[in-house]
C-alpha cells in the first residue's frame, strides 16, 4: 500500500484481517458504526477534488495543494448550508412574509418495482421509467413529488417553469403563505434549466 509505505516505511503493511479487526478497536470508537447514507448534491468541483484525492492517495503528490483547495471548498459548502438553513427557518417561522421552495430532479423510478432485485424479464426492457421532481414547500412544511415520463419532454426551462407555476399557484391558495410577497427558490443551476428564462418567469410572477 503506497500510503502506508510512505508514512510508516519501517513497519510491514498489515494484513486485511488486521485492518478489519482494528476498525472495531475501542481507540476508534468515534468512527465505529454504519454511517447514514446521504444524498447530498455534488458539484463539478467536488468530483474534481475526489479524483485528485484518489490520485494523490496512491502517488503522494499534490497533497498540500489538494488539502488547501479542499478546505476552501468545504468552507464554501459550510457557508452555503448556513444560508440554506437561515432561509428554511425564516420561511417556516414567517410564512406570511416569505415563501421558500426547494426543487430538484431525483433518481429515476422504474415501474413495476417488485423489490430490491427485479425479475430478469422486467429488469429493464419491460419497465416504465419516470423522473421524480421533488419540491419542498418550506413555508407550509409540505413535500411533493411530480412524476414525468422519462424522455417524454425535454428538461428545459419550459418544463421547469410550467411545473413551478403550479407550485407557486398552490402557495397562493393556502394560508398563511398566500400573504407573502417574497419568494426564495433553491434549485440546481444546470445549464438545461436556462436560468435567464427562470429569472424572467419569477419576475413576471
Do residue 56 and residue 136 come from a single domain? no
Do residue 109 and residue 175 come from a single domain? yes
9 located within any domain:
no
pLDDT at position 109 is 79
Other C-beta atoms within 10 Å of 52: how many? 17
CB 171 within 8 A of CB 178: yes
Do residue 82 and residue 56 come from a single domain? yes
Do residue 65 and residue 132 come from a single domain? no
How many structural domains comprise the chain?
Answer: 2
Do residue 200 and residue 107 come from a single domain? yes
Do residue 148 and residue 100 come from a single domain? yes
Give this prediction's pTM: 0.65
Which structural domain, as residue segments, surrounds residue 77? 40-93
Do residue 47 and residue 68 come from a single domain? yes
Residues (pLDDT < 50) of the chain are: none
User: Of 70, 93, 116, which marks where a domain is finished?
Assistant: 93
Do residue 75 and residue 46 come from a single domain? yes
78 located within any domain:
yes
Torsion of CA 158, 159, 165, 170, to 10 degrees: 180
Do residue 80 and residue 132 come from a single domain? no
Do residue 107 and residue 183 come from a single domain? yes
Pairing of strands 182-187, 109-111: unpaired
| Long-range contacts of 82-85, Cβ-Cβ distance < 8 Å, separation of 24 or more | 84/186
Amino acid at each position: 500500500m503506497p500510503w502506508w509505505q510512505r508514512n510508516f516505511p519501517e513497519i510491514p503493511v498489515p494484513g486485511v484481517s488486521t485492518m478489519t479487526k482494528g476498525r472495531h478497536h475501542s481507540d476508534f470508537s468515534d468512527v465505529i458504526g454504519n454511517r447514514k447514507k446521504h444524498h447530498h448534491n455534488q458539484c463539478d468541483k467536488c468530483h474534481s477534488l475526489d479524483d485528485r484525492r484518489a490520485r494523490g492517495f496512491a502517488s503522494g503528490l499534490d497533497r498540500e495543494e489538494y488539502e488547501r483547495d479542499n478546505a476552501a471548498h468545504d468552507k464554501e459548502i459550510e457557508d452555503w448550508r448556513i444560508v440554506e438553513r437561515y432561509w428554511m427557518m425564516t420561511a417556516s417561522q414567517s410564512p406570511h412574509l416569505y415563501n421558500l421552495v426547494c426543487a430538484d430532479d431525483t433518481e429515476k423510478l422504474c415501474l413495476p418495482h417488485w423489490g430490491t432485485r427485479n425479475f430478469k424479464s422486467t429488469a429493464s426492457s419491460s419497465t416504465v421509467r419516470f423522473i421524480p421532481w421533488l419540491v419542498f414547500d418550506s413555508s407550509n412544511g409540505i413535500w411533493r413529488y411530480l412524476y414525468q415520463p422519462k424522455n417524454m419532454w425535454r428538461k428545459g426551462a419550459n418544463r421547469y417553469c410550467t411545473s413551478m407555476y403550479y407550485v407557486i399557484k398552490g402557495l397562493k391558495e393556502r394560508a398563511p403563505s398566500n400573504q407573502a410577497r417574497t419568494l426564495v427558490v433553491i434549485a440546481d443551476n444546470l445549464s438545461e434549466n436556462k436560468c435567464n428564462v427562470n429569472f424572467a418567469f419569477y419576475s413576471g410572477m
